[in-house]
């Protein structure tokens, strides 16, 4: 029997309730879900790769099914191939996401047409959430409890306290 493996890549800086919604739903679609935590040179992360890996592991620990958390620093399609994935899972929030993701899916198909890209819409109540905005709200002293788990909120607030709030 063939194991259906999906890869859900991201920086997860920090992991949000929107990410968790996509992860939980994707885990029901495949036999094994690999969450690929990566670095993005164009982003300025609040947390180190190791901190993000631990955060994601803790958040997905309660999920049923075979969900693994793996770091990678390579082309997504090479990583997916190494993991034996037949699909890449991507979350969509808005039209702007779709345009970017559509272009990426096309490029990825050119790199490896054996791996499909599957788009999942985030739950309507979670669609506005973006890690970038969560960090910005926290940096200005705003309440982020609606966007992340209590444990992630505590970690973000501790980091903001360590590096200093803006506007204070």
Q: Does the annotation mark 68 as catalytic?
A: no
Could you tell me if residue 136 is inside a domain?
no
> What pLDDT does residue 167 have?
61
Q: Is 28 labelled a binding residue?
A: no
Could you tell me if residue 137 is inside a domain?
no
Q: Does the annotation mark 93 as catalytic?
A: yes
Q: Which of 43, 114, 165, 166 is catalytic?
A: 43
> What pLDDT does residue 43 have?
76
Q: Which of 25, 32, 68, 93 is catalytic?
A: 93
> What pLDDT does residue 148 have?
97
Is the distance from CB of 8 to CB of 122 less than 8 angstroms? no
Average pLDDT, the chain: 92
Q: CA 155: distance to chain centroid?
A: 17
Instruction: Provide the domain count of the chain.
Output: 1
**DSSP three-state, residue 53:** helix
Could you tell me if residue 135 is inside a domain?
no
Q: What is the pLDDT of residues 71-102, one digit of tens each?
A: 999 999 999 999 999 999 999 887 777 888 88
**DSSP three-state, residue 31:** coil
Q: What percent of the chain has pLDDT over 90?
A: 77
CATH of the domain at 56: 3.40.50.620
User: For 9-13, 40-44, 61-65, which range has the lowest pLDDT when averaged over its residues?
Assistant: 40-44
Q: Is 80 exceeded by the pLDDT of residue 168?
A: no
Q: Is 93 labelled a binding residue?
A: yes
Give this prediction's pTM: 0.92
Q: Is 80 exceeded by the pLDDT of residue 1?
A: no
Could you tell me if residue 162 is inside a domain?
no
- H or E element in which residue 47 lies: none
Strand-pair partners of 103: none
Per the structure, the complete domain to which residue 19 belongs is given by: 5-125
**DSSP three-state, residue 133:** helix
Q: Does the annotation mark 71 as catalytic?
A: no
């Amino acid at each position: 029997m063939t194991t259906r493996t999906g890869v859900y890549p991201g920086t997860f800086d920090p992991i949000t309730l929107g990410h968790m919604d996509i992860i939980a739903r994707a885990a029901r679609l495949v036999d094994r879900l690999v969450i690929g935590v990566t670095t993005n040179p164009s982003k300025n992360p609040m947390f180190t790769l190791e901190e993000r890996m631990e955060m994601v592991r803790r958040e997905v620990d309660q999920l049923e099914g075979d969900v693994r958390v793996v770091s990678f620093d390579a082309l997504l399609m090479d990583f997916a191939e190494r993991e034996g994935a037949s699909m890449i899972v991507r979350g969509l929030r808005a039209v702007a996401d779709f345009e970017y993701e559509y272009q990426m899916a096309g490029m990825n198909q050119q790199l490896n047409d054996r791996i499909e890209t599957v788009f999942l819409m985030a739950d309507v109540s979670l669609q506005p959430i973006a890690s970038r905005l969560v960090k910005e709200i926290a940096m200005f002293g705003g309440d982020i409890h609606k966007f992340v788990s209590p444990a992630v909120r505590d970690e973000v607030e501790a980091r903001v306290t360590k590096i200093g709030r803006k506007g204070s």
